[in-house]
Structure 1
Amino acid sequence: MKSLILPLTLLLPVLGYSLTAPAIAAESTREVAQVSTALQGEWVLVGWGDKANLTPPVAGTRVTANFMGDRLSGSTGCNNYMTSFTTEGTTLKLGPTATTMKACSDPISQQESQFLMALSGVKTYAMTPEGHLHLTYETEAASGVLAFVPLATYQGAAQEAIPALW
């Protein structure tokens, strides 16, 4: 076995591979640099759609977004979702989204469909002076904003939190 390892280690540089850690560390640093620290943390959706007339989540549900590193995960109010993301300036690019497949009753299933459709069309993000997160989206069916507040400051009913967003 030892006689096979030595020829393989000599062949790796020829094939473009390296056993050194700095190359791996540099690659990781470059990826992290493309992720905004402003997004990091747990957020609760308080409304989506037209900025002037946000639609609140269905009563009794909590739609969340948890940005950690270059991963986004959360709840649609029924199922969990997960994806990857990168940022460049205020541009936010999401990877393919995976979800769990629990059956949801209406109107929660409609909320989930609308939220996931909006999430798939996210283009940019903005932080308000109050520390709220706005994700702007554009799909073939609609455009608008997903409005989030930090989980730590979430105070319950989305209807009460909406006026404080603007």
Structure 2
Amino acid sequence: MKKLLLSLSVASLSILSMINPSMASDALSGTSWKLISWGNEKSTQTPLDETEITLQFENDQISGSSSCNRYFASYTIEDEQLKFGVAGRTQMACPEEIMKQEDQFLSALEKSRTFEINAEGKLQINYKTNQGYGVMIFTPNQPE
């Protein structure tokens, strides 16, 4: 009887992972984050005062605030690789420095490669740069 139950459990999990391979390994779905820094060991930035950059994961989609505008895109996780689709966004105009920050963030997001949630509970997303790799660090975003 135990062998039968074990076999049924394994078969069920196998079928579920074939239906949606990312479902079983998506530790990010239903989470919300706030960017606290990004860059590499030579140059690290923090969001400009009075701006907030957020990232929410839900049902294979992301959305959030990119400083001035709201953005959205699809995402997939396969073998610890995090990939975002091309981001769409609203078209509000803001001061030039805020728009520059927004463009830098969205560019880093589109070049994302891997992620991890570190021992402190922060989300780290590694992304490709012209000089190698950078990292975006997020803290959990608590609803107000």
Q: What interval of TM-score do these two structures reach, taking the shorter chain for normalisation?
A: 0.7 to 0.9
Query: Where does structure 1 differ by over 6 angstroms across 4 or more consecutive aligned residues?
Result: none
User: Structure 2 matches for 1:10-159, cutoff 5 A?
Assistant: 29-30=19-20, 32-33=22-23, 36-38=26-28, 40-51=30-41, 53-140=43-130, 143-152=133-142
Decide whether the 8 Å contact of 1:135 with 1:145 is kept in 2.
Answer: yes
Structure 1's unaligned 5+ residue stretches are 1-25, 154-166
Residue-by-residue CA offset, 1:60-100 (whole Å, 9 max, x unaligned): 10000001121111111100110111101321011121111
Question: How many pairs align?
Answer: 130
* Cα 1:99–1:133 shift into 2, 3 Å: same
**TM-score, normalised via structure 1 length:** 0.69
CA distance in 2, matches of 1:139, 1:85: 20
CA RMSD of aligned residues (A): 2.7
Normalized per residue, the structure richer in strand is 2
The DSSP-based 3-state class of the residue aligned with 2:45 is coil
Residue-by-residue CA offset, 1:107-134 (whole Å, 9 max, x unaligned): 1011001101111100010111010001
CA distance in 2, matches of 1:35, 1:75: 25
Q: Which amino acid aligns with 1:114?
A: Q
The DSSP-based 3-state class of the residue aligned with 2:134 is strand
Identity of counterpart residues, as a percentage?
33
* Cα 1:98–1:34 shift into 2, 3 Å: farther
Larger radius of gyration: 1
